[in-house]
Amino acid sequence: MPPLEEVIIIGSGWAGSTLATSLDETKYTITVISPETTTPYTPLLASAACGLYDFNIVETPIRHTSKKIKFVKAQVEDIDFKAKAVNCIPAFVDLPVKDFVLSYDIVVIAPGSTNNTFNTPGVAEHAVFLRNAKDAMKIASRIQDCFEKASIPGLTEAQQRSLLHFVIVGAGPTGVEVSSELSDLFATSYAALYPHLKPYVSIAVHDVANQVLSGFDTKLQDYAMSSFTKRNVEVLTRSHIERVEKDCLCTKENGKINAGLVIWATGNKSTALVDSLAVKKTPRNPRILTDSFLRVYTPSSELLHGVYAIGDAADVEDARLPTTAEVACQKAKYLAKLLNGKVEEEFRYQQAAIVAYLGQNDGVVSGKKDYSGRQAWIAWRSKNFLWTRTWRQKVLIVIGWALDLVTGRAIAPR
């Protein structure tokens, strides 16, 4: 039997993990390289941060018991396309090996994207992001700290209000969902446990744009705006954040605003690996440009043999696809079929529904068909269920819903 071809997948996110589990192990040796040992189920993170789901179900290990996937916990620093090799640095600083090289027949570049701070001073130090289970846990524990601090005797009402002011920067689907989950959490579990603080709690969403949920239809944006008013969530559009400090943020329009927690959810920027690669890229906020078979070009538009790019890190020529898990998974499944020899035609994205939760069992759905209200909330919950991959996680999701109804949400990491 001829030796199996070596496939190296860079990244263990939605794209990398979907591809790794869909490739034919009888044809390929599959190696995933990533500094993260798990794939975060990003659509569930806001709910987990606000006590609806157990943190164990919002990520899944890349090492697979039933699939032959090799995993290397490392960062790819560079790809030598001529030598067909990737240069890596272990994700550990205390090893005698400082770097190493792995050869490939096929390389799939899927390092995703990273948080875009727009170079705003203080964001990296003082705000929190929401990308993985660790971030969700951090948010849950910071929220509880704010309530405990505000309960210390001797604080003035103004100091309590400052500690209990929660700011979300970014009014896209992630920012909107975080604000919705926070308002549900504060209206239920926290209201019951900290009744003395209820009048001092406030949530604000800031965005530089003049509307929320850009990408959704205007009617749904207006619907989302009215839901914020119902839930007492302040929305500050056209708000320019100039700086984030330990206990506050400074905006061009409103000056200094005290806050107990600032959650930064303003979108994506390219990773250091994508920035450094000499390949053809999209002009703004660079993503690797591929042809419709997801193959990567040199800067002079020649196809690189055996090099593919998928997920947030890449876009298909003339397609302008959004950076979503839907797109990442569809591309990964397509590429697996292509490499497994099960498909010959080009990749075409099948438009999927985009769902955003608005709190109080309300939501909006866009994409194939636009709708809002309770039906949209049911669609959102069904999607939560479908995103998870194992039966164990699906059972735990349903348990999360049941516990929410019976005992309320968990208020801190267990």
Ligand X SMILES: Cc1cc2nc3c(=O)[nH]c(=O)nc-3n(C[C@H](O)[C@H](O)[C@H](O)COP(=O)(O)OP(=O)(O)OC[C@H]3O[C@@H](n4cnc5c(N)ncnc54)[C@H](O)[C@@H]3O)c2cc1C
Residues in contact with ligand X by the rule CB under 6 A: 10-16, 33-36, 42-43, 45-46, 75-76, 110-112, 130-131, 174, 271, 273, 311-313, 323-326, 328
Helix-strand-coil split of the chain, %, nearest 5: 35, 30, 40
What's the closest the beta carbon of residue 35 comes to ligand X, in angstroms?
5
Backbone CA torsion sign across 40, 41, 42, 45: negative
Question: Whose Cβ is closer to ligand X: residue 63's or residue 198's?
Answer: 63
Packing angle of the helix pair 218-230, 173-185 (nearest 10 deg): 20
What's the closest the beta carbon of residue 34 comes to ligand X, in angstroms?
4
Q: Where are the beta strands (DSSP E) in 48-164?
A: 59-61, 69-80, 85-90, 100-103, 106-109, 113-115
Question: Whose Cβ is closer to ligand X: residue 114's or residue 361's?
Answer: 114
What's the closest the beta carbon of residue 346 comes to ligand X, in angstroms?
20
What's the closest the beta carbon of residue 311 comes to ligand X, in angstroms?
2
Question: Whose Cβ is closer to ligand X: residue 16's or residue 260's?
Answer: 16
Burial of 314 (0-12, 13-18, 19+ CB in 10 A): buried
Question: Whose Cβ is closer to ligand X: residue 36's or residue 404's?
Answer: 36
CB atoms within 10 A of CB 85: 16
Helix (H) or strand (E) holding 354: strand 354-359
What's the closest the beta carbon of residue 110 comes to ligand X, in angstroms?
5
Report residue 353 as tokens.
């529904």
Packing angle of the helix pair 325-340, 14-22 (nearest 10 deg): 30
For residue 17, give the amino acid letter: S
Question: Whose Cβ is closer to ligand X: residue 75's or residue 227's?
Answer: 75
Chain CA centroid to CA 262, Å: 17
* Contact partners, residue 351, CB within 8 Å, separation at least 6: 367, 368
Backbone CA torsion sign across 257, 258, 264, 269: positive
What whole-number distance in Å separates Cα of residue 111 and Cα of residue 272? 9
Question: Whose Cβ is closer to ligand X: residue 164's or residue 178's?
Answer: 178
What's the closest the beta carbon of residue 196 comes to ligand X, in angstroms?
32
C-beta of residue 277 within 8 angstroms of C-beta of residue 297: no
What's the closest the beta carbon of residue 402 comes to ligand X, in angstroms?
22
Question: Whose Cβ is closer to ligand X: residue 311's or residue 359's?
Answer: 311
Question: Whose Cβ is closer to ligand X: residue 51's or residue 111's?
Answer: 111
Question: Whose Cβ is closer to ligand X: residue 325's or residue 410's?
Answer: 325
Closest residue to ligand X using C-beta atoms: 13
What's the closest the beta carbon of residue 119 comes to ligand X, in angstroms?
20
DSSP-derived letter for residue 57 is: G
What's the closest the beta carbon of residue 212 comes to ligand X, in angstroms?
15
DSSP-derived letter for residue 374 is: H
Residue 366 backbone phi and psi in degrees, to 5: -130, 175
